[in-house]
Amino acid sequence: MMRRLAFTWWYLFKPPWDSGIPAPELVRAIAARPLGRALDLGCGTRTNVRYLAEHGWHATGVDFISSALAKAKRKVKGFESLTTLLVGDVTQLEALPLPGPFDLALDMGCFHSLTDEGRRRYAAGLKHWMKPGGIYLLYAWQPDLARGLWGLPREAVRATFADGFRPSGYEQGQGRPSAWYYFERV
């Protein structure tokens, strides 16, 4: 409940993570892939959903903050036939009416904010909706105990997706301890 209130409050203004610029990692990932269906988990105001639709992908965004989705609807105007926006809980993906299966999934900061049980359910739901051979891009914070920063150790992230996904890449983030994880659905 507190998490929902905190995120709702941020979306009354402009959240610091909402740059309005698509993730360069996403831009690189789709450059060499055929068009397909994409899923943005914890998509906020849909910058990446719009980018995907602009490039011919059928893009679905899921977020649990309805005010973020209201802003997103304005952002994807003109791309309604290629976009689906859902208010939903990413820990309950299997129950959502998603237009999958998906060739690509993206998460830029949602996964690391979930509980251990929530992350387990998220991974099971993602496995359910992803096509074999599909790619999953995950940006997550890592811990820095010396500075008192919370996050997920690399081993914990890999272990969460061990059932159904194969690690295919890793890039250390810049600034705050973080990383990009790349997985392939097996």
Domain that residue 48 falls in:
28-125
Residues 76 and 96: their CA atoms lie apart, in Å, by 21
CATH number of the domain residue 43 falls in: 3.40.50.150
Taking the C-alpha atoms of residue 163 and residue 55, their distance in angstroms, rounded to an integer, is: 31
Task: Report, as ranges of residue numbers, the positions in the chain whose pLDDT lies below 70.
Answer: 1-20, 68-73
**Residue 15: what pLDDT?**
52
Mean pLDDT of the chain: 88
The count of other CB atoms within 10 Å of the CB of residue 84 is: 17
Q: Decide if 130 contacts 102 (C-beta within 8 A).
A: yes
Q: Is residue 47 part of a domain?
A: yes
pLDDT tens digits, 93-139: 999 999 999 999 999 989 999 999 999 999 999 999 999 999 999 99
Contact yes or no for 54/22 (Cβ under 8 A): no
151 assigned to some structural domain: no
Q: How many domains does the chain have?
A: 1
